[in-house]
Structure formats: structure tokens, C-alpha cells
Structure 1
Amino acid sequence: MKMRRDLLFNRELSWLKFNTRVLNQCSKNIPLLEKLRFVVIYCTNLDEFYMIRVAGLKQLFAAGVVPANEISPLEQLNAIREYLHHEKETLENYYFSIMKELENAKVYLKNYNELTRNQRGKAKEYFFSTIVPVIVPIAVDSTHPFPPLNNLSFSLVLKLSSDTDKHHKFAMIRIPRVLPRFYEADTGLFVPIESIVKEHIEEIFPGYKLEQSAAFRVTRNADIVIEEEEADDFMMLLEQGLKLRRKGAYVRIQIEQGASDELKNFLSSHLKVFNKDIYEYRTPLALSSMLQIVNNKELSHLCHISYIPKILPPFDENMSIFDVIEKQDVLCYQPYESFDPVASFIKDASKDPRTISIRMTLYRVEKNSQIIRALMDAANDGKQVTVMVELKARFDEENNLYWAKELENAGAHVVYGIAGFKVHAKIAQVIRQMDDGSLKFYAHLGTGNYNGNTAKVYTDVSFFTSNFDIANTDITAFFTILTGYCKNKQLRVLSMSPFQIKEKVLRMIKTESLAGKNGEIIMKMNSLVDDDIIKALYEASNKGVNIKLIVRGICCLIPKMKGHSENIRVISIVGKYLEHARIFYFKHATPQYYISSADMMPRNLERRLEIMTPILNESLHAKLAEILRLQLSDNQLAYELDENGIYKRVENNENPIDSQAILESYISGIYKSFKKGRDKEKANQLAQKFFREN
């Protein structure tokens, strides 16, 4: 039974407030291009929100669907529009403030007409040599229909006149993605591509005079709905779905401020976009493309000093990774600790003559993945390689489809998932055969993807073990469920959704409820949406349980609400790294600590295959405890949620605690101590001392 709407924050508005916290990083005392990076992240997030969440609400509204006990789709759409139209001014103010500061640092964004004569000459050469061959001029009239526009495509809409025609003509110029968003006229001088194109409109349409122009950008419904049939057909179905994504309904127009009503009406009449979904900007459009400036190597002095992730004991380049894991469980925290041991786990297995089998799940991987190359090498070498490639990973479908085919061509057994479910679990298993013929099992379980790029900016927990009940019994059973037929979908030590995680979490919350004021729960996650979990937390709070929640993004639970959640505190950490790890602590559970690939959302708990891993080795508990303690003490990156839905910055500059900076410093200190004396035992002792005493 769904909870009353007055006991929950709205999911969509909660997400928008998270994105506001991302944008508000621009007000902090951080390097200039880091501020601009947060603008990029904010805009990229908003693109996806419109492509999926707003598009979904529009479909519900069109279908006349009004879910019980929830705000209607129309009410949500109106609230979203009001929120975003208001926040657009905040975005613009941050942008112009950043650009003014960048000018003081000799970094400029100028339109074509602001360039010197010499710079205009070079820009003109660039226009004819590079832009003209790839842009697409399009007439729009009775014989030239309005063209289909790709999702997030960037174009110019034009009104033209000529001496020979009585009537004005409308036209468009599509600016393809192969062109950079900005032309770099000189070191630190960037020119928006559309300002160069606008200057030469009359050369693109000879004989016509430009009357009006405006840059605009469209957003389309990008949610793929696939009716899953036979597994053999799934790749074909996905490819068809990706083509259909390009034809999704238009859901938003972004247009430069000052565009005439005539041009806006022309676009909205053809694109069928509601006026309230047309956003006018004083800034350049497609701000997510400013990553081109943020990542410019010549401007690296305006970014954070790069932190290099460290490899700490017990991992050592002089010792086999399998010997280390066989001796003890190991827990790493990326990106403070390096992702290299995760990649080495697969790479070393692929080269090891003892390896007979590698199994793993892949959800999102980088385009040039060392891990996939290693899996292909292992398959080519005759090792048994089984890979679950989740083809339904949103916006990674094409990349995953490519790698699935490459793995198959190398001889790997590739599984594409289970009908009706996404496989979001992060698991790898290596089986090695010893000289006496016995088999040894090794496992990696994580909260994040097997992606070396995101591992540098996402905080995630990696856990390595050779525990027989996990590495052999449970993980073997998990892959049997994925690849074959299995009536029993219960794991013994690990918990798997949609069959076990939710029930396990609810039981542990209930146990803390029975302990009353002696109970304690700490949960770190990305999102908290599930009604049943929230209801159980409310009940535990009413029993006096001390509940602390670290929820980066969506939080539908209302804290500090009289009679429901007076003992619940909710904070969100937003900083240099994206907080992505899921860590759970229950004081009276055995064991007390868990990591998981799952958030507390219906999709994770009921419609995905996820894994929750108990950390059985108590020597590793202190590390997880310190991560949680540091974040709960943070007064530089933390925002606390109140009962009115407002996130207030937790700030204490007299005794500043920046959890991310402290972890960088601490890990670096342990690493230096280890490298200086090559004393692994001393480094371990330093780590234990830090985690137990700080």
C-alpha cells in the first residue's frame, strides 16, 4: 500500500534540488574551471532529466494516467517548469560571474564580431575549410518539409528575404557534432561556432538577406521501451530501439534570448513543444559542451591539482594479487585508492596459466576498456570466459552492444540479461586450478562499475575475497541464475534483489526498532525512494532508533517530522568527487556492515539484479566506519535536509572538515610512509590507528 503523499517528498522535485546543489558548487572557493565543470555537470544532468523523467511524465499525462496517492503528472510538470524557469536565472548569473573571473585569468569567450581583424581573418579561413563542408543548410517551405532533428542537436533557425520574392523564407542550419563547440582563435580565446556561421549566412544562402536568426537546441524523449522476446532476438530489438530513440517526441526547446516570437512560433508549430517547455537563455546554448574549455590542457592551472589514486598494502607489485586475496579480504575505497587492483584482477587472471574460468558482469565500461581487452585475450587463450553485458544500461547501449559483439567474436560466452530485469550487480569471479587439481575461487564485488574512467571521479567501495561461501558457493549460484535455469534464487551469504535485499534490509531495520533507543542505523546511498523502506525507517525513528542517512541525490523521506521521523538526520555530500558508494550499518546486525550496488529505490529492489555484500571480516569494519563518520562530520561539502524540503549548507569554517580532502590527505600519507620504508606492516598499522582513533 502506497504511503500518503504528505509523508513523502516528491521524487522529481527532490532530484531537481540535488541538481541545484551541484550548481551551487559554483559559489565555493574552488578553481575557476572547476566551477565551470559544475555548470557542465548541472546541464548534462538536466538534459538526461528532460529526456527521461519529463518525457515520461508527458506520456503519463497524454495517456490520462493519474497514479493513486501521488501528485498528478500535470501538477509535477508544472512544478518542474516553474522550478527550472526560476533556476535558469541562477545558472546565468553563475555563468557570467565565472566568465568575468576567467577574463581576469586571460581566458575569453568572444563572438565573431568581437575579434580583431586578424582573428576574424583566421576564423573566416576556418569557416570555409572546416565548417562549410559539414554544415547542412536546409530550406523549409511547401516543397521542403521541416527536417527531423537529432536529440540534443544544435542548429540555427533563420528568416531570409530576397529582392525577387515577395514572401519571407524560413530556413535552418544544422551544426553537426563533428564540429567542436568552440573555435579556438588563440590560446585562451574561444569563439562559439554559431557566431562564425551567423556571420556568413548570406554566403551559405546566396542571393538572400538575413532578417532574423536564433540558435536553438532540441531535447527528445530518449527512453527506450523494448518488448523483450527471445534472447536470440534481443540484440536486434535493441538496435531497433536505438533507432527509435532518435525519433522520440520533442520535449524541450532551448533558444537564445532575443529570438523573435515569429521564430519561436515557427519552431514550436513544427516541433509541437508546449510554450512552457521553451527556455530562453542569455548564455551560449549547450553549456554541457563547455567541457571542451574545462579539459583544455593549456588551462590546467585553473583546475584542481590532480590527485593520483594510490595502491596501498596489502597490494604490492611484487606479490601476486591472488596470493594477497587468498591470505586476507581486502577493501579499497576509490578514487582515493587506485582502480588498478580491480583491473589487475582480470588482467592477471587472463595471463595466468592456472586460470580456467573468468565470470563477470558489465554495466558501464569505458570505450577503450583494459578489462574487456583482457577478457578477450583470456577467451582467445582458451579460458572459459562468461560475461553478462547489460545491453539496457541507459545511454551506454551502443557501447555495450559493440563490446558484446567483440567478446563473442573472441570466443567468450556473452549473456544479455534476464527478461524484465536489468543486471546492475558488480561481480567478478576467477577460478584457478592448483597443481594438485583442486580449484581456488576468488571474487571481486563492488558498488561501482568496471570503468577505469569513472573510477577516478566516483567514490566507490571495492571488496576482494576468497571466502569459499562467497567466492564459490554464492557467486557460482548467481551466474547459474544468469546463464541457466535455477528454481532457487536465494543466495546464502550475499543478498540478491529482487528476491532478498529489500527483505533483508527491512529485517535489519526491524531489529534496530526492537532495540529502541539503543538502536542505530547509518545508511549511505545515492537515492532513497522506496515506500516500504521509508515506512520502516519512520517506525524505527518512533521507537527511538538513532538514524543517520547520507543520501547524495533523491530523498523522498521527510526528516525531523513530528510523530514520524524526529530521530532521523539526512545529509547530502556534494564535492569534487561524485559520492556513489552504498554503505549500510546496523548496530545489532551480524555482521554490522554491508556494501551494495543497490540504492533504496523500487527499480533497484524490485526490477534489477543487485547484490548486497556483508563485510564479514571485522578488521575491515573500521575503514567503513571512518568513511561514514567523516561524512557525517563534514561541514564543508554537506547539506542537511529539513522537514520543509530545504537543503541547508552545513558550514563551520573555524573547524573545517572536508571529508574528501581529508581522505585524499590520509591515503597520500599512508602511501608515502609505505613507499619510503617499504614497510607494509607499518603502513597497515598507520591505517588501523587512523581508523580507530580519528
Structure 2
Amino acid sequence: MASGALHKKHHARYINRELGWLDFNQRVLDEAENPATPLLERLRFLSISAGNMDEFYAVRVAGLVDQLRDGTGKKSPEGLTPAQQLDTVRRQAWHLQQEQQRIWGAMLDELEESDILLKNVEKLHHHDQEWLTTYFEKQLFPVLTPLTLNPTHPLPFIFSGGQALVLRLREPKTSHHVMDGMVVLPAQLPRFIRLPDKHDTIRFVMLEDVIAHFAKRLYPGLHATRVSVLRIVRDLDVELEEEAEDLLNTFEKAVKERRRGACIHLEVDGHLPKHLLRKLGVAKDEVVHLSTMVGVGDVKQLIVSDKPELLFKPYHASIPQRVLKHDGDYFATIREQDLVVHHPYESFDTVVHFLQQAARDPDVLSIKQSIYRTSHDSPIVDALIEAVEAGKSVTVEVELRARFDEEANIRLARALETRGVQVVYGLAAYKTHAKMILVVRREGDHLQSYAHYGTGNYHPSTAKIYTDISYFTCNPVLVDDCARLFNCITGAAVPELHAVAFSPLTIRPTLEKLVRNEMDHVRAGRPGQIWLKMNSLVDRKLIDLLYEASQAGVQITVVVRGICSLRPGVPGLSERIEVRSIVGRYLEHARVFAFGDGHELPSDNAKLFIASADWMKRNMDRRIEAMVPITDKDAHARILGEILFTNVHDTLQTWTMLPNGGWKRVEPGPTPLSAHNYFMEKASASDKEAGVPANPQPDPAEAPANHQPVSEDAPAIPQPDSHEGEGPVKEA
């Protein structure tokens, strides 16, 4: 199915950011119908697309609503007012949600064919009815609160994502309508209740159906009829006073206030009483009627381990062979040569073990690290605490403004401070999004520094499904730049870096210089070529620069995961620009930029960078970001000649963007190549080899034509990267 039925006009110079994000989520949803993907993994893609929609409403739509209400909104780069954007976005979002309903309905039949059934409570056999009665009395009844909807009973507060069952209550004899009732579905209870298995068949019933079935226990003496299930999404954006004296306490208060944000979106699967809509405070255009079920994201509860044949094959990442050759000594490995680790194909444990070794090494004097997102039980945090308890100087920059991880980061900051870690919160006006670790170690009569630069977060869980690059080095210039950038974060001094470009000051001008250098090569009769890999391409100035480069004769390939506001392939504007997007088992998250510098890519002479920054205005101008040059010969060959090359040539999971802004799947061709499969197979093969793998440039012919994808935990399109509009949606 082609993605992107949004129908941007051919003459528009840019593609609307919000519609671009919906196009991305459509590509995610289309994976739910990909016949090459196992059934339960397709169900996971359906769930992910629904979760993405929640964050889209809570952040992006909420932002447009605020602009409209405040009268502060300006026209978008495409010339649309906030009202026009809101109308267009809501129509397209409605279409996408209806597609989710259709796909869910079709999947019910496929699940049944695979002996996973969703049963009708009213039609259960009496043995199942007996079991369900016991379950209701012991597991549900004690935690349910029946409410009546009338002037003396105010509407209960329902958190964002919360669901409630609405009932019509009647006199049993006269059928006279007495009142309406509501039962809020406790978030801690499963939406899908698993019945005892029967003849190898897995069976479920839905929570709201069970509650409706036993409604007489909640409303004795009345007859209850199900009216609808409703689901609310609230405005979850956080506004922070940047001049606050106590950033931590101010942000903690703002996060608590967010929980009671205005209702921005209401899903219903029936017809709600008008007085209920008034109490909820929702406008007509904020209500979406769904034919099958609200809260499609909950279908992930049906992904059972009992059916391994319906899941991706498990993949277990390993430690790089070079580290194992040095018996796990990371300092020795890095001193020998810079180390590139490609996640999730190579284990994120490399980062954890690096920190653990630093914490336990008596010669290590200090550790500095930036944390944007991490897990609640992160071994990285344990290593940092272990280091400070061993007497080392430990400084951690915790970014409080990582959307939807704010509360987790507040808890993290307080926990680290309690254990003696020096915690800083960076610069009030700029999010710190750079991913860096700096370890200083005494070696003989001098101090040696080791740095880790990453394209992804220090999050062990998402590192299993996000494709990212870790780069370890003791290159004197790069470790010195790392130290200077940390000093900028902690001391607010403008750093003078020698090689690493950083936002908000030097990444943009560095990129501009690199792109213009490719134009100069073309004018001089040499090749001009650029390969870019990122999550989002939105910055208008950089897009205009790429348009200019295309017109000058530079060949440009962009591999973008989510939003792309650039319009490729338009004659006279961007005919030399190709935009591709890989959607599959893993979430493409690495940022890699390659410039041929007068040579065709891939080339040993190319200028190559990894970065924490996407090409978005916020990343260029309002964040602390790092863009690191890769000059080590082997690291350069690995990142450009293998990792980026394979992404550019993937044909099994790739979509290509059309000049009208729509997307279509790339034809597999005679030698299909899946980047995800290639890297898994290569890493597995390396484990069986003795010595260091050669890291050859992949041949597209190496991928078998009908090779099936494989997975560990989940595909990988997280929930909107928290997103500041990025698509999982979380901003990573």
C-alpha cells in the first residue's frame, strides 16, 4: 500500500511538518499489513502506530490548538495558518485512525486462524462463565468504582490515555431510564483478560465487556446497557520558565500540572450523551468515532510468547571481537585503535562495561556524562554511583526537558545527588542533547582521557531496538573537545573546539560549508555527492541549501526515519535529491553525514561525521549537540563503507519519497537487501570467527531474496519520541 495520501501540492517548496509526521506513522501502520512480517509483530506495529497517534495529539495537535486559541500562531513555511493546519491534520489523523480500525478488524480473523481468539463474553460456555465470575469478584470488583452521571456527582477526572465505560441504567421492570453510569477502567488492569487455554487455543475477553456483563453487581437493582467506551488524550506539553531560580523544583511543579491538561482528543465507540460531552469540555471536532475499539495501542497485550512462530526469531547481540581479544579491557582496546559499536547488532553492554571498568579502576580519576534518557533501573546509573563511592569525581548532566521522561529524570537527578554525584542541569535556554562520556585516567606520569560519543541515548532498553552508533576514542583532539564541551555545559562558557562541531554555534555553519564545498567540486568538474542519515529533516535553511546543491549538480541521498519537509525529485529544484526511509524490525536512529569531497561515495577520502543532531531548527539553534568527525581509517570504513552504504542500498524495508510528498515501497529488485538482516547475520557470523572481523562492504546480492525479518523485543517505532514531534514520537 502506498503511504502518504496527504496530497500536498506539487508547487509547494516544503512539506508541512505535521503532515510529514502523519506520513511517517502511515508507513509504520503499513508494516502491520506487510506479509513478510510475522503476525504478532504486525500486531505490534499496529499498536505502535496507535501509541504514536496519542503523542501526536498530546503535543503537535495541542500546540496548534494553543496557537489558535491564543491568536499567536504564524503561518507555516507552506503558507498555512494554524486553523488550516489543524483542519488538515485532523482530517488526515481521522483517516489514519479509521485505517487502524480496518486493520484491527482484519487481524482478528488472522488471529483466530492462528488459535488466538477474542471471545464474546455473552456467548461463553458455562465453565468459562464460572471462571469469569470468580475472576470478576476477586480481581475486578474490589478496584472498580461505579459512578452516576448527574448534577450531584461531578465527572471523575480521567488521565490522558484513560478509558471509561458509559452505561445506561434503567428500571428492570419498566425499562424507564433512570440515569447514566460510568466506570473508569483502572490503568493497572489488563485490557485483554486471558481465559484458561482450551485445546491449545489462546482466548481473551475485553475488560469493558466483562464489566458490562457484571454491571448488576456494580448497580444493584438496575438494568445496565452498554452505551460506549470513551478514551481521552490530554494536552501534555510542559511550559518551563527559563529564568527560574530552582530549575529542578520549577520543572517538577510543571510536570505535575501537566497531568491535568485540557482534553484535546476524545475517542468513542458509541454515542455519548450530550451532557457528558459538555462536562468533558470537548468540541465536536475533537471527537473521533471508532467502529471497532478505542485505544488500539492496547492490542500489544495480545502478543504472547506462547506463539514463537508468530514472532521474529530472537536475536542476541554480542560484545565486539576486538574487546574480547583484550579480555574485556576497554582502555586497552581503545588505546590500540578507535572502537565503533553498531547497536543493536552489537550489544549496548559495551557502553555499560566501559563505565563499570572506569568505576572500578583505581587509576581512573573522574567521569563525566550527559544523560538525556535512560531506563529506571539503568546499570549505567549504578556504575556512576559505584564510581563516586570509590572516591572518583563524577559529574552528570541530567536533561530535565526530555519530553515524557521528565519525571524519570527528576527522580534520577535526586537519586544521583543523594549518593554524592555532582548533578548539573545544563543551560536553561538550551536542552543538552549531546551524548557524551569522558573518563580521565592516570597512566604512568600523565593523564589519559577516553571519550564516548553516541548517536543515541544511554538507555539499555531502547538500545535493543534502536539502530545507533557508539564511538570510543582516545584521540587527543576529540577527547579535548569533549572536555571543553562539558565545561560549556557546566560552566556556561563558550567553548573553542578544534574538530567537533556543536550546536547552537558551529554545526549549522559547518554543514553549510561542507555542502557548498560539494558544489565547488562540481563546478571544478569533480564529483559532488552527499549521503545523509537522520531522523528528521525539517530545517528550512538547510533544505534550501540542499535544493541549491541539487541545482548545482550535487547528487544527494537522504535516509530519513520520520519527518521530511524537503520535496525530492522536483525538476529545476531537487531532481538530484533522493529521499528514502527504512521502516522495519528496528528503529533507525543514527545520525551520519558523509560528503564525497570530490570523490564518489563511498570513498576513503570522504568527510564523515556522526552526530546527536537531526536537521531541525531546534537541533541547530536551541540545543547542545555534538557532530564528531570520523578520521580513524578503520572507523571511517566501517561507518561509511558498511553501515551507511547498506542503509542507502536497502531494498526490502525501504520507502522512497515522491515529488508530491507521498511515499511508495522500493522494488526489491533482483538482489534484495535488508539492512537489518544483513547486520544481524554479519554480527552472528563474526561471533564464530577467530580474530577481528574484516568489516567488508556489503554486496546487495548477499541478502537472500525471501529472507524474513527477525526480532527480539519489539519492532522499533517507539512511541512518538517524546517527543517534540519526532516520531516514535519520542525525541531521542
User: TM bucket by the smaller chain?
Assistant: over 0.9
1:200 paired residue among 194, 210, 214: 214
Q: Which has more helix, going by share of residues?
A: 1
Q: What residue in structure 2 maps to residue 244 of structure 1? A: 257
Q: Please name the residue that 2:232 is paired with.
A: 218
Give deviations 1:293-345, integer Å, cap 9, x for gaps.
Answer: 22x32233311011111222311161411111111101111111111111111
CA distance in 2, matches of 1:213, 1:380: 59
**Could you tell me how far apart the structure 2 residues matched to 1:620 and 1:153 are?**
48
* Corresponding residue of 2:186: 176
Q: Is the 8 A contact 1:670 1:687 kept in 2?
A: no
**Equivalent in the alignment of 1:641:** 657
1:498 to 2:511 alignment: no
- The residue that corresponds to 1:353 in the other structure is 362
Q: In structure 2, what residue type is equivalent to 1:250?
A: C
Question: Deviations for 1:350-406, whole angstroms, at most 9, x for unmatched residues?
Answer: 111111111001111112100001111111222111001111111111111111111
Mean Cα deviation higher: 542-551 or 273-282:
273-282
Instruction: State how far apart, in whole Å, the 1-side matches of 2:66 and 2:112 are.
Output: 44
Using the TM superposition, name which of 82-91 and 422-431 deviates more: 82-91
How far apart are residue 688 of structure 1 and its match?
A: 4.1
2:547–2:574 Cα contact (<8 Å) kept: yes
Q: Paired residue for 2:308?
A: 300
Paired AA for residue 41 in structure 2: E
Contact 1:136–1:175 (CA under 8 A) maintained in structure 2? no
The match for 1:254 is 267
Residue identity matched to 1:38: F
Alignment of 1:317-466 (within 5 A): 318-436=327-445, 438-466=446-474
State the distance in 2 between where 1:510 and 1:147 align.
59
TM (norm. structure 1) is 0.94
Cα pair 2:244 2:250 within 8 Å, conserved: no
How far apart in 1 are the matches of 2:571 and 2:292?
A: 44
Q: Does 1:43 align with 2:50?
A: yes
Take 2:129 and 2:41, find their aligned partners in 1: how far apart are those partners?
Answer: 30
Q: Does 1:61 align with 2:68?
A: yes
Q: 8 Å contact 1:498–1:608 — kept in the other structure?
A: yes
Q: Mark the CA change 1:605 to 1:166 in structure 2 (over 3 Å): closer, same or farther.
A: same
User: Which residue of 475, 484, 490 maps to 2:491?
Assistant: 484
CA–CA separation in structure 1 for the residues paired with 2:544 and 2:117: 52
Residue 264 of structure 1, CA deviation: 5.0
Deviation at 1:435, TM superposition (A): 4.0
CA RMSD, Structure 1 to Structure 2 (Å): 2.0
- The answer as to whether partners of 2:117 and 2:203 remain within 8 angstroms in 1 is yes
Distance in 1 between residues matched to 2:250 and 2:699, nearest whole Å: 50
Q: Which whole-Å CA distance do the structure 1 matches of 2:428 and 2:97 have between them?
A: 41
**1:246: how far off?**
1.2
The answer (yes or no) to whether the contact 1:591–1:616 under 8 Å persists in 2 is no
Conserved 8 A contact 1:490-1:499: no
Partner of 2:722: none
Range with greater deviation from structure 2 (653-662 or 9-18): 653-662
Q: Which blocks of at least 5 consecutive residues in structure 1 are unaligned?
A: 674-678
Q: 2:319 aligns with which of 311, 324, 341?
A: 311
Q: In the alignment, what sits opposite 1:227?
A: 241
Secondary structure of 1:128 counterpart: helix
Distance 1:5 1:239, change over 3 A: farther
How big is each residue's C-alpha offset from its partner over 1:76-103, in whole Å with a ceiling of 9 and x where there is no partner? 1111122122233321222122221111
Q: Distance in 1 between matches of 2:481 and 2:635?
A: 21
Partner of 1:651, secondary structure, is: coil
Moved more, 503-512 or 95-104: 95-104
Q: How does 1:22-37 map to 2 (within 5 A)?
A: 22-28=28-34, 29-37=36-44
Aligned residue identity for 1:305:
K
Q: Deviations over 1:41-73 (max 9, x none)?
A: 101111100000000000111112341453111
Contact 1:202–1:209 at 8 Å: present in 2 too?
yes
The residue that corresponds to 1:526 in the other structure is 535
Matched residue, 1:142: 151
In structure 1, what residue type is equivalent to 2:30?
A: N
User: Which whole-Å deviations, capped at 9, do the CAs of 1:621-661 have from their partners, x for residues lacking one?
Assistant: 22222222222222211111011011011022542211211
Q: Deviations over 1:536-562 (max 9, x none)?
A: 000000100001111111000011112
Q: Give CA deviations for 1:122-180 in whole Å, capped at 9, x if unaligned.
A: 11111111111112222222221122211111111222233799763122111111111
Q: Secondary structure at the match of 2:458?
A: coil
Contact 1:160 1:212 in 2 (8 A): no
Distance in 1, Cα, partners of 2:486 & 2:142: 51
Residue 381 to residue 164, structure 1, CA distance change in 2 (3 Å): farther
Displacement of 1:565 in angstroms is 0.5
**Does structure 1 residue 660 correspond to structure 2 residue 676?**
yes
Q: Secondary structure at the match of 1:315?
A: helix
- Which protein has greater RCO, CA pairs closer than 8 Å, 6+ apart? 2
Structure-2 separation of matches of 1:663 and 1:149 = 44
Q: Which moved more, 1:208-217 or 1:586-595?
A: 586-595
Distance change in 2, residues 1:691/1:447 (3 Å): farther
* Aligned-partner residue type, residue 194 of structure 2: E
Could you give the per-residue CA deviations for residues 427-459 of structure 1, whole angstroms, max 9, x where no partner exists? 0011111243x2110010000011111111000
Q: What amino acid maps onto 1:156 in structure 2?
A: L
2:223 partner letter: K
Pick from 265, 284, 292 the counterpart of residue 275 of structure 1. 284
Counterparts in 2 of 1:142-161, with a 5 A limit?
142-161=151-170
Gaps of 5+ in 2: 1-9, 599-604, 703-732
User: In the aligned structure 2, how far is the partner of 1:692 from the partner of 1:588?
Assistant: 25
* 1:580 lines up with 2:589 in the alignment: yes
Counterpart residue number, 2:548: 539
1:468 to 467, 476, 490: 476
1:368 & 1:158 partners in 2: Cα distance? Answer: 41
Counterpart Cα distance in 2 of 1:336 and 1:105? 30
1:209 aligns with 2:223: yes
CA change 1:693–1:653 in 2 (3 A) is closer
> Is the aligned partner of 1:113 residue 2:113?
no
Q: CA deviation at 1:479?
A: 1.3
Residues in 1 aligned to 2:632 and 2:528: alpha-carbon distance in whole angstroms: 22
Matched residues in 2 for 1:556 and 1:147: separation?
A: 41
SS in 2 for 1:7: coil
* Contact 1:591/1:615, CA 8 A, preserved across alignment: no
Give the TM-score, by structure 2 length. Answer: 0.89
- The percentage of aligned residue pairs carrying the same residue is 36
Q: Which residue of 2 aligns with 1:631?
A: 647
In structure 2, the residue matched to 1:10 is 16
- Equivalent-residue separation in structure 2 for 1:502 and 1:687 (angstroms): 32
SS in 2 for 1:121: helix
Alpha carbons of structure 1 residues 122 and 415: separation in structure 2 relative to 1, 3 Å: same
**Which amino acid in 2 is paired with 1:467?**
N
**Aligned length, in residue pairs:** 674
Offset of residue 693 of structure 1 = 12
Q: What is the distance in 2 between the residues matched to 1:528 and 1:139?
A: 50
Paired amino acid for 2:485 = F
Is contact 1:459–1:579 with CA below 8 Å preserved after alignment? yes
Structure 2 residue aligned with 1:512: 518
